[in-house]
Structure 1
Amino acid sequence: MTEVNENTKQELNDVVVQNFTVGEFVTGTVTKVEEKQVIVQIPNSKMDGIIPISELSPLHIEKAEDAVTVGQQLQLMVIKVEDDAIILSKRRADAEKAWEDLAKKYKNNEYIVAEIVDSVKGGLVVNVGVRGFVPASLADDRFVEDLNEFKGKTLPFKIVELDKEKNRLILSHKDVKLEQKEQKKKERLSQLKAGEIISGTVQRITDFGVFVDIGGVDGLVHISQLSFEHVAHPSEVVNVGDEVKVKILSVDPERERVSLSIKETLPGPWDNLSEKLAIDSVVEGTVKRLVSFGAFVEVLPGVEGLVHISQISNKHIGTPHEVLEVGQKVKVKVLSIDEEEQRLSLSMKELEEKAEEVPVELPEENRGFQLGDMIGDQLKKLNL
């Protein structure tokens, strides 16, 4: 009875062995790790399963122990059935499952997360069950001089190209970063409100203004919004990298444009003007504009006052252009200050009047002349 049972078991085992077919997937437990191969135990089989080192990983490895350990359970593919052993492949089993998962993610435009295992000429190598390649141009959204800085990092990637037949998988970390930035930008734009004062960092300087990063969004500070003073070039006021306070003037989410002002976060030139200028004081200014009713003279940065045409000269003039020109330096007297209305009245005429009232000093030898001397001189002329 016992003999029959042993024969029956052997026959059953033989049947099981014969049932293994190339391409079949099996589960095996690692029992021994040699330098160039791995021995695994397969359920319902007395034959050893052997995984050659070349079938352990899609990447090149020097020793089998770099890929597996004793006791590890593996999903494997049968690639050959011999009389005394079954030749298996972990690499191909992993690849089949990986291609299936990758195809789904590619179709759904999903990211994959993988560790960068190597840096090679022209790009990076990742292992996602199959060998994936990241071209250097797609490694980041910035220029990277040394790709070795990525080795060992686990990063998200977008599938750029997928071709199972050609065993070709091209990935991009750059696209992930750009998409994430765009999403962050849209979220940030929806949060920004006109009138808010926030902090930002100067990113770029152009002839017409400054671009400031305000949390994933670049807003423009036009050159006219940099300062109350005249600015010939934005570099006179700020440098790249400067932290600045800005006021949001307007937000256009559809066009992704934000207008900012540094000037409106600063004390205005008219604030506390009475502490800087006193009524009846005399200051020097620059003629900024000439109009039919007078001249506007800048006496402090951002502060212009009006010299009415009646206050330009003691002489009658038809237009201010007769005696003044834009850019001319002039002395003016402060007549009145209205900080609330931002009005400043000035006069040039009153300085002329004062000049005329100054007594003329005669030379010592001409002092003491008599009225008779003057009359005598006139009589002499008449006798002639």
Structure 2
Amino acid sequence: MRDFFREENGEIVPVDESVLIDFQDGDIVEGEVVRIDKDEVLVDIGYKSEGLIPANELTIRKGADPKDVVELGQRLEALVLQKEDADGRLILSAKRAAFERAWNKIEEAYREQRNVEGPVIEVVKGGLILDIGLRGFLPASLVDIRRVRNLEEYLGRRLECKVIELNRSRNNVVLSRRAVLEEERKEERERILNSLNEGDIVKGTVSNLVDFGAFVDLDGIDGLIHISELSWNHVDHPSEVVQVGEEVEVKVLEVDRERERISLGLKQTRKDPWQEVVERVNVGDVIHGRVTKLVSFGAFVEVAEGVEGLIHISELAEHHVETPDEIVRSGDEVDARVIDVDPRRRRLSLSLRPKREEREERRREERRREEREERRPRESGLRTGAFDALKDLDLEER
């Protein structure tokens, strides 16, 4: 700057008036960094005094040290905030100049559907902030194809995103990395969809759990295991069966190529406990089990893991039963007789009543016992009367 200005009567004046640049507030000027302090940076733009860039006007990164942003001798652009403040200083803003330049580029990228790229500079509630010349907001749900649990691990990483929302009046830019990833995987998804067939057994990784099931990543496309297809047993929540990150072997139940949806089954790759019971149990067999639940019409008994049979209230006892808890309690161990097996409907009917032949034999035995009881008093009476008669005889006189 001293090549173009000289001091005269305590003031800095140009050696040649023609070299004095002309600008107004709001103009973008270019200069060279000549000093870096903790709170400000001085820039020579060819004016009578250096331009001052306050630290908070240097970059969109909050709390950044000026020494980490610029270096001596570096040329940069800055927007004129005040040609002269109360102290006669020229106040500049590098971040606003970058914002103006970046906004034009972002608008162009948005119109032409081109991607933008920048480092993650901040983790905020609900997402990430990227430096794309201005602050671009990347919602957490759009960071990846799968849900991201720890956003902090993205801090400092450069991400390529699509601009999906733009509002200059509110300085609002919304980004999506997921859109970029999905575009990259489109061909891969099509290949996977075309290669899958119903009945195939494939391997994948559990990517997410929801109340209605588990999503499994099949190397680029997610398939859904509905909660009813996770286990042969009743499942209240998918976390009872699988965890995120777990490798699983699943069966392809349905492929909807038009809607790009894949239905999977986990229980189909595991032994059906009901089938095992059907293969080893016959009507008339006595089977051991544990009472799991009482209902108004009977009691459910678990006879194998995941397999329950029903003892109807009429089969709990030979006599009339008002409520099942008159005979059994939840948790009781019982030996029940199999009275029906319905493989198609997956129903097993049990009974605590003895077999019909046993009941009839018991009744016959009871009748025989009753008859013996009835005969006993009469026979006893006859024997007593005979002895009494003999006693009255005078055997000595004869």
* TM-score of the two chains, using structure 2 as the length reference: 0.50
> Which of residues 93, 101, 114 is equivalent to 1:89?
93
SS in 2 for 1:51: strand
Distance change in 2, residues 1:197/1:22 (3 Å): same
Q: Does 1:126 align with 2:130?
A: yes
Bigger shift: 113-122 or 170-179? 170-179
Where does residue 58 of structure 2 map in the other structure? 56
Whole-Å separation in 2 of the counterparts to 1:217 and 1:120: 28
> Which of residues 245, 253, 256 is equivalent to 1:252?
256
- 1:328-339 matched pairs, under 5 angstroms: none
Where does residue 214 of structure 1 map in the other structure? 218
> Which of residues 76, 79, 87 is equivalent to 1:77?
79
Distance change in 2, residues 1:262/1:16 (3 Å): same
Identity of aligned residues (%): 33
- 1:131-142 matched pairs, under 5 angstroms: 131-135=135-139, 141-142=146-147
Kindly provide the amino acid, as one letter, of the partner of residue 20 in structure 1. Answer: F
Runs of 5+ consecutive residues of structure 2 not aligned to the other structure: 1-5, 7-12, 272-278, 284-337, 343-398
Where does residue 35 of structure 2 map in the other structure? 32
- 1:1-384 matched pairs, under 5 angstroms: 13-42=16-45, 45=46, 47-53=48-54, 54-61=56-63, 63-82=65-84, 86-121=90-125, 123-135=127-139, 141-142=146-147, 144=149, 147-173=151-177, 184-193=188-197, 197-201=201-205, 213-215=217-219, 216-218=221-223, 231=232, 239-240=241-242, 243-246=247-250, 251-258=255-262, 286=282, 326-327=340-341
CA contact (8 A) 2:53 2:94 kept: no
Distance change in 2, residues 1:65/1:22 (3 Å): same
User: Residue 17 of structure 1: CA displacement?
Assistant: 1.5
Whole-Å separation in 2 of the counterparts to 1:80 and 1:206: 55
SS in 2 for 1:100: helix
Whole-Å separation in 2 of the counterparts to 1:35 and 1:206: 50
Distance change in 2, residues 1:202/1:41 (3 Å): closer
User: Residue 96 of structure 1: CA displacement?
Assistant: 0.8
SS in 2 for 1:94: helix
User: Residue 112 of structure 1: CA displacement?
Assistant: 2.5
Kindly provide the amino acid, as one letter, of the partner of residue 39 in structure 1. Answer: L
Kindly provide the amino acid, as one letter, of the partner of residue 185 in structure 1. Answer: R
Distance change in 2, residues 1:24/1:258 (3 Å): closer
CA contact (8 A) 1:207 1:233 kept: no
Map Cα deviations across residues 107-140 of structure 1 (whole Å, 9 max, x no partner). 2334322222223455543322222334556556
CA contact (8 A) 1:221 1:262 kept: no
Distance change in 2, residues 1:263/1:171 (3 Å): closer
Distance change in 2, residues 1:14/1:86 (3 Å): farther
User: Residue 48 of structure 1: CA displacement?
Assistant: 4.1
Map Cα deviations across residues 216-237 of structure 1 (whole Å, 9 max, x no partner). 23165998999xxxx55589xx
Whole-Å separation in 1 of the counterparts to 2:115 and 2:192: 23
Whole-Å separation in 1 of the counterparts to 2:204 and 2:264: 10
Whole-Å separation in 2 of the counterparts to 1:261 and 1:32: 66
SS in 1 for 2:169: coil
CA contact (8 A) 1:132 1:170 kept: yes
CA contact (8 A) 2:114 2:162 kept: yes
Whole-Å separation in 2 of the counterparts to 1:148 and 1:204: 19
Kindly provide the amino acid, as one letter, of the partner of residue 73 in structure 1. Answer: R
CA contact (8 A) 2:119 2:159 kept: yes
Superposition RMSD in Å: 4.8
Map Cα deviations across residues 209-259 of structure 1 (whole Å, 9 max, x no partner). 987543223165998999xxxx55589xx9425645456576431133446
